[in-house]
Amino acid sequence: MAEDIFDNNRVVGFDLETTGLSISQSKIIQFGIIGSDANGKEIRINSLVNPYIQIPLKSSEIHGITNKDVNDLPGFRAHIEKITNLFNDSIVIGHNIKRFDWPILENEFLRCGKIVPKPHTIIDTLEIVRKLKIPKPHNLGALCKRYGISLTNAHDAISDASATLLLLWKIMEDNPMPFRKSLEELQIWNSSPSEKLEEDLGPSINDLPIIDPNGRLRRSGKNIVLSFGRHKGRTLQEVNLIDKKYLIWIKSNNQLSKDIIEEINSILN
């Protein structure tokens, strides 16, 4: 079964509502985390957050959260320990999570001087539907309608997080092939620039060409994949999102070629 890929892991859907769309300036005003722990115990958290700035009217018109709703609540710092415990070593699933939700979460942690959580894997359903060439539109509401998923409270964090989990299960049922191997191989397939879904996930990490003297970096299409350590199987782009210091440490290896260092610099920037 395709679901076996998630066995013995904490799996959570994740979504944010924010003060705006700017990755660098937006603040979190609501987060939703829903799923199950490795032992099957249910996880469900839906919290409002005081951003300590004014919520623009245009944003409130989208998600319905106003300044009055959050003014008497604690800020993001109060939620850091809980979020870290849930996300460390977890499979975190979100829609457009890699380009929006996770970078904003990362910035909130950095503002508080805290270490960003380190999930085992981040799965972006937007990337998945694009990889599978599922017809547009690709916004969460349209995809939920396509797959018969009820989304009555769109732009409520817990509702969107829950819908994203259901969306992934539906996609897995319709397209089981990419989900039949390891999470690492799924990430390589999803990050690959190939134009068509192949019958298999292609080569394993060990089959990918080595591009550094120590055999720790492998080439998969236009991406560099780690073949060692706690982020084994992840692309450097993914590592940059969840553990930038680790990527900087990789760059410090004086045996890397100039071309690889330049490629890492482009990711860091």
- Tens of pLDDT, residues 48-102: 999 999 999 999 999 999 999 999 999 999 999 999 999 999 999 999 999 999 9
Residues of each domain in the chain carrying CATH 3.30.420.10:
1-180
Cβ neighbours of residue 72 under 8 Å, at least 6 residues apart?
50
pLDDT of res. 197: 38
Largest CA distance in the chain: 58
Task: Tell the residue number behind the tokens 């330049």, with chain if given.
Answer: 262
Torsion of CA 196, 221, 219, 197, to 10 degrees: -10
Higher pLDDT pick, 117 / 182: 117
Question: How far is the C-alpha of 221 from the C-alpha of 224, rounded, in Å?
Answer: 8
CATH says 1-180 is which class? alpha beta
Q: Which residues pair with 12 in a beta bridge?
A: 35, 92
Q: What percentage of the chain carries pLDDT values higher than 90?
A: 63
Question: How far is the C-alpha of 189 from the C-alpha of 179, rounded, in Å?
Answer: 10
For the stretch 111-129, pLDDT in tens is 999 999 999 999 999 999 9
Supply the pTM of this predicted model: 0.71
Question: How far is the C-alpha of 177 from the C-alpha of 1, rounded, in Å?
Answer: 10
Query: Containing H/E element for 237?
Result: helix 236-242
